[in-house]
Amino acid sequence: MKVMTFDFEEKRLSEEITKRGAKRVLIQLPEGLKKEGSRLAAVAEKAGALVMVSADPCYGACDLATLDGKSLGADLIFHYGHSKMIEQEQVPTVYIEVKAKVSVKEAVKKAIPLLKRWKKIGLIITVQHIQTLDEVRKLLLEAGKTVAIGDARRLEHAGQVIGCDYSNAKSVSKEIEAFLFVGGGRFHALGATLATAKPTIVADPFEKRAYSIEKEAQRILRQRWASICEAEKAESFGVLIGLKNGQKRFTEALKIKEKLEKSGRKATLLAVRDITPEVLTQFPDIDAFVNTACPRVSLDEASKFLKPVLTSNETFVLLGETDWEELCRKGLFGN
Ligand code: SF4
């Protein structure tokens, strides 16, 4: 992705510092956009603040650098690339969503023939393209489709999706036949089809192309079932509790530990920031893991791990509390 195709709102960065009289600022950028860090730091310094750029990995607003900001004495955080997810930040935070400055028209026009089997379309989109929602809706209406845009009020914008939250998609899932996803890459479209079990067509404005995500979703579903079957043989489990503030599901982890133990298995709670193969290989006596943190690590990165890393819902299948076919029909994750 070319970085200058995005709007970093430099003017707003300066204005917020001046308006709030911020003296010490922490800038947090997602992977792929960190290269803009020193340029944005220079802009913020000109506004009169001492500026630090977080060099730690960041993949979502679930990982807001609020504790780092606190320990560094920051009085303001600028979080780039995502919309607000954490309800009460401990350090005042400005979200700069980094809107894309590319046209969506060509990709959407290419997507329309791929939607020919369906009339009722759900429209979903990343925050980078949210400003084009109306334009895409009109293009679909002109093509003779009906368009539903969900708003479950959990995310900042109607129609928006993020890697682990498809509540907007799910809220219209029953009334539509397929989704059109507008955004870059396969990640969110794949999440949408796994979370809703509806066919999803991608219109990628960066690559100016459109395609179906169906085959990839089927491959992941087969892989997930294989992981559940493998985990059934496990005697000891590690139940992962996310340390990132938007990934911490303590009660859920405790409930799963209890259920695993009731079923005769051993279970150890493991608190973790980043779930990587290197971290998990440090526990050779554990046969399988349950991930209560970011579900996408289990779904998208399974081949990297030597042992099964199940999501919470998949663990309920293993425990016989949920039927696999039914879970696939309802959607693999999310409420
Ligand atoms: S939990 Fe995972 S998918 Fe959700 S915002 Fe965080 S990194 Fe993205």
Task: Please give the class, per CATH, of domain 217-330.
Answer: alpha beta
pLDDT at 59: 94
Question: 82 C-alpha vs ligand 1 centroid, how far in Å?
Answer: 10
pLDDT band for 335, please (50, 70, 90 cuts).
low
Instruction: Give percent of the chain with pLDDT exceeding 90.
Output: 95
Whether the CB of 191 sits within 6 Å of ligand 1: no
Q: pLDDT higher for 81 or 331?
A: 81
CATH entry 3.40.50.11850 includes domain 105-212: yes
pTM, two decimal places: 0.94
**pLDDT(334) > 80:** no
In whole angstroms, what is the distance from residue 182 CA to residue 66 CA?
A: 30
Residue 107 Cβ < 6 Å to ligand 1: no
Q: CA 129, CA 126: separation in Å to the nearest integer?
A: 6
pLDDT surpasses 80 at 4: no
Average model confidence (pLDDT) across the chain:
96
The tokens of 257 are what? Answer: 């530990």
What is the rounded distance in angstroms from the CA atom of residue 114 to the CA atom of residue 17?
A: 46
**Which positions ≥6 away from 50 have C-beta within 8 Å?**
23, 24, 25
Where do the structural domains in the chain lie, given as residue ranges? 3-98, 105-212, 217-330
State the SS3 of 255-316. HHHHHHHHCCCEEEEEEECCCCHHHHCCCCCCCEEEECCCHHHHHHCHHHCCCCEEEHHHHH
Banded model confidence at residue 112, pLDDT cuts 50, 70, 90: very high
Give me the count of residues in the chain. 335
Instruction: Compute the distance from residue 289 Cα to the ligand 1 centre, in Å.
Output: 18
Q: Is residue 62 lining ligand 1, measured as CB closer than 6 Å? A: yes
* pLDDT for 27 beyond 70: yes
pLDDT for residue 1: 47
Nearest CA to ligand 1 atom 5: 60
Domains 105-212 and 217-330 share a fold: yes
Residue 2 pLDDT more than 70?
no
Compute the distance from residue 163 Cα to the ligand 1 centre, in Å. Answer: 5
> Which CATH architecture describes the domain 3-98?
3-Layer(aba) Sandwich (3.40)
Over residues 223-251, mean pLDDT: 96
Say how many Å lie between the CA of residue 226 and the centre of ligand 1.
24
